[in-house]
Amino acid sequence: MILSASDTGQQGRIFFYVQHLLGIGHLARASRIAEALKNDGFAVTLVTGGVPVKGFPGPGIDHVQLPAVVAADGGFSALADTEGNPVDAAFEQRRTALLLKAFHAAKPDAVIIEAFPFGRRQVRFELLPLIEAIEAAQPRPLLFTSIRDILQENRKPGRNRETADLVLAHFDGVLVHGDPSFVRLEDTFALAGEIAERVSYTGLVAPPAPAPAADRFDTVISAGGGAVGAALIGAALEARQILGDRSSWCVITGPNLPQADYDRFAAQADDGVTLFRFRPDFPNLLPNARLSISQAGYNTVCDLLQSRCRALLVPFAAGGETEQSVRAEKLEALGLARVVREAGLTGEAMAEAITAARALTLPKKLPVSLDGATETARIIRARLDGVGSGG
């Protein structure tokens, strides 16, 4: 039996698990959703398993930090600890015990697992025991998976079948953080029809519309976490020289860009270029910018759409990644961006694309919903109160 929040006299308790491995996109999206859940009156426990990032989650969210793991390689096939050591069985057992302890202490009405079973199979060593604990709990909490709008393609044979079976066996809902008018789950998940009754589209999880920052830059260049951003920044700075551009540029390298690359770019930059490791007010820089040059990660694109900034996208495609390429192509087809492929990333190609992107005329009304965090809270609230909300 599942008790609603009103039955228990509580506003509802949410246990939210997220594992980021390379950049901070998964953590940023989960934190936005956690904030919306808190604002809806839920008590939220956010469990994170990646390297801690200052500012995430925000105030008022209970935070459980598991011993951190990162991707051991660009293909995300193995895990390492923060010292670069491969994760072993003892490490896995310790994390699993801590996760289960946190779950039992939270006594949630609903559990949200970010990405799994559609992704994050690297941490199934702790997520499968968590699901077992959820099934054994009395009362049993609702279980949701929280996924972005576009999934990674080129999955191994049988992976889709395994994912669908896990959803059908254990999950009460699939929260797709996208707009079906932009992309539908079946576009990147072949068995979506089998789980259609459990799928709810929330819209994109965008931040509130940003207030313009005091700093003003003509062009804002960002490389996410920075671990794989050196080629983008290098090509952009080369393009600046080719174009003879002397307007103000802001280059945000990301905290994980190797120091040697940062020093190289600092030496290469002219007086019109300002380098930053990180700008927490990145979204606030976009309303005044003529152009943004970035990868095509989910959260970066949300920031661009919310600020209505012209965009030049260089989708991350290493290790067989397809998600950013699909998103960039769809945005370009809607006239919302221009795209340069990583494979053809040269100064000359970047210079040509910058010129084209600056000439973009954005539509007056965006064709996608950006209210995904609030809608997620509404869907979960409705489910806990016994109201169907799939669609």
Residue 304 domain flag: yes
Sheet-wide strand order for 291-294: 273-276, 249-252, 219-222, 291-294, 311-313, 338-339
What sections of 53-122 are H helices per DSSP?
89-106
Number of H helices, E strands in the chain: 12, 15
Residues 67 and 202 grouped into a single domain? yes
Residues 249 and 145 grouped into a single domain? no
Q: Phi and psi of 86, rounded to 5°?
A: -60, 140
- Give the range of the structural domain holding residue 169, as residue numbers without chain letter: 5-206+371-384
Residue 364 domain flag: no
Q: How many domains does the chain have?
A: 2
Beta-strand pair 291-294/219-222 = parallel
Whole-structure pTM value: 0.86
| CA dihedral over 260, 264, 266, 272, signed as positive or negative | negative
Residues 308 and 335 grouped into a single domain? yes
Residue 211 domain flag: no
Query: Residue 70's closest CA among 53, 54, 83, 57?
Result: 83
Residues 93 and 56 grouped into a single domain? yes
Residues 41 and 72 grouped into a single domain? yes
Phi-psi bin for 276: left (phi > 0), alpha (psi -120 to 50), beta? beta
DSSP-derived secondary structure letter, 245: -
CATH of the domain at 346: 3.40.50.2000
pLDDT in tens, the chain (391 residues): 333 343 444 489 999 999 998 777 899 899 999 999 999 999 999 999 999 988 889 899 999 999 999 987 655 568 999 999 999 999 999 999 999 999 999 999 999 999 999 999 999 999 999 999 999 999 999 999 999 999 987 667 789 999 999 999 999 999 999 999 999 999 999 999 999 999 999 999 998 888 999 999 999 999 877 777 899 999 999 999 999 999 999 999 988 899 999 999 999 999 999 999 999 899 999 999 999 999 998 988 999 999 999 999 999 887 778 889 999 999 999 899 999 998 889 999 999 999 999 999 988 888 899 999 999 999 999 999 985 444 5
Residues 178 and 223 grouped into a single domain? no
Residues 130 and 276 grouped into a single domain? no
Residue 274 domain flag: yes
| CA dihedral over 224, 185, 379, 66, signed as positive or negative | negative
